[in-house]
Amino acid sequence: MTALKNDRFLRALLKQPVDVTPVWMMRQAGRYLPEYRASRAKAGDFMSLCMNPQFACEVTMQPLDRYPQLDAAILFSDILTIPDAMGQGLYFETGEGPRFKKVISTLADIEALPIPDPQKDLGYVMDAVSTIRRELNGRVPLIGFSGSPWTLATYMVEGGSSKDFRKTKAMLYDNPQAMHLLLDKLAQSVTSYLNGQILAGAQAVQIFDTWGGNLSAAAYQEFSLAYMRKIVSGLIREHEGRKVPVILFTKNGGLWLESIADAGADALGLDWTCDIGNARERVGHKVALQGNMDPTVLYAKPEAIRAEVGRILASYGSGSGHVFNLGHGITPEVDPEHAGAFLRAVHELSAQYHV
């Protein structure tokens, strides 16, 4: 494989010295970019983009071509590829988001679920990873990802997105045995899926626990974090002669940072409700931190964006171990010029913290 020309993202995740704070954006390949919208129109729909390795590569590269400041590429895919490969029948309703043709509601439903083979059942993702890696040609590292078991379970039990997770939480409390079986199957699936991505060329991986923060403190430990810890313990942590960092990101997980830091990952993603300086005091000696600007700051003028970038950098302070990112994904209505102002500000303002 080609040597990396820019490895500051991987170095920061391992708390090694860097020249400037590395930056990337969750959902950096997405609807805010006119070139992405053109590719999606050409592909026909979202799933056709995801399931075609050439299209997935095309849209992964688009933000890198527009923004030379980006220090990482992230695989273009969806967190719900695993439930789809388990036979749930993923589809997207216009204006409604993801939906499943089959919904999990009983222990028998869970017992019947297969554990997908990454190569056979999710080969299009592995092909996308290897295609993107070749196209990057060492430009920046490639991030692979998956949803967390708890987050995937919510979609499978609810049949799509939910505001209150009533069916999933009812199962959790009424039938914890069934929920644990579902989460265990998903943990096995996520582990093999991420390892498949690593073997195909992903140089770091992130687990998106989008809905873990909707659990109580006790339920989070038992039904979300325990399964992410299990995944982390089963991941390939070195490949192609260098470490493969693992990032855990629980949205609204700020109350539990110490516990998440003990889960074995190299870095924690923070949403915008956390103060990154406080988070560093709490866990920074154990893990790197990724985040955490409120994505809606990108609706403001470039001067205001730059000021907020400066505030977050100052809060983290000097030294490595910080990957700058948004506190969640960039939203579709953001002006691409504002995203560019954000990325430039990170590199320009962060050099003083790495002397």
Quote the tokens at residue 272: 């915008």
> Is 40 an annotated catalytic residue?
yes
29 labelled as ligand-binding?
yes
> Is 45 an annotated catalytic residue?
no
Q: Which listed residue (7, 71, 78, 127) is catalytic?
A: 78
Q: Which listed residue (31, 66, 139, 237) is catalytic?
A: 31
| Cβ–Cβ < 8 Å for 64, 140 | yes
Helix axes 176-200, 226-233, angle to 10 degrees: 30
Give 114's DSSP letter.
Answer: P
Q: Classify 144 as helix, strand or coil.
A: strand
191 labelled as ligand-binding?
no
> Is 155 an annotated catalytic residue?
yes
| Cβ–Cβ < 8 Å for 224, 150 | yes
> Is 99 an annotated catalytic residue?
no
69 labelled as ligand-binding?
no
Q: Which listed residue (32, 36, 67, 155) is catalytic?
A: 155
Long-range contacts of 262-271 (CB under 8 A, 24+ apart): 262/286, 263/225, 263/228, 263/229, 263/232, 264/229, 264/232, 264/233, 265/207, 265/228, 265/232, 266/13, 266/14, 267/13, 267/323, 269/206, 269/325, 270/327, 271/213, 271/327, 271/328
155 labelled as ligand-binding?
yes
8 labelled as ligand-binding?
no
30 labelled as ligand-binding?
yes
31 labelled as ligand-binding?
yes
| Cβ–Cβ < 8 Å for 195, 221 | no
> Is 173 an annotated catalytic residue?
no
Long-range contacts of 60-65 (CB under 8 A, 24+ apart): 60/29, 60/128, 60/132, 60/135, 61/132, 61/135, 61/136, 62/29, 62/33, 62/35, 62/36, 63/25, 63/28, 63/29, 63/33, 64/136, 64/139, 64/140
Q: Which listed residue (27, 99, 133, 344) is catalytic?
A: 27
Alpha-carbon span 193 to 81, nearest angstrom: 10
Alpha-carbon span 233 to 239, nearest angstrom: 15
Helix axes 302-316, 336-350, angle to 10 degrees: 40
Residues labelled as active-site residues = 27, 31, 40, 78, 155
Query: Binding site: residue ranges?
Result: 27-31, 78, 155, 210, 328
Query: Binding site for substrate: residue ranges?
Result: 27-31, 78, 155, 210, 328
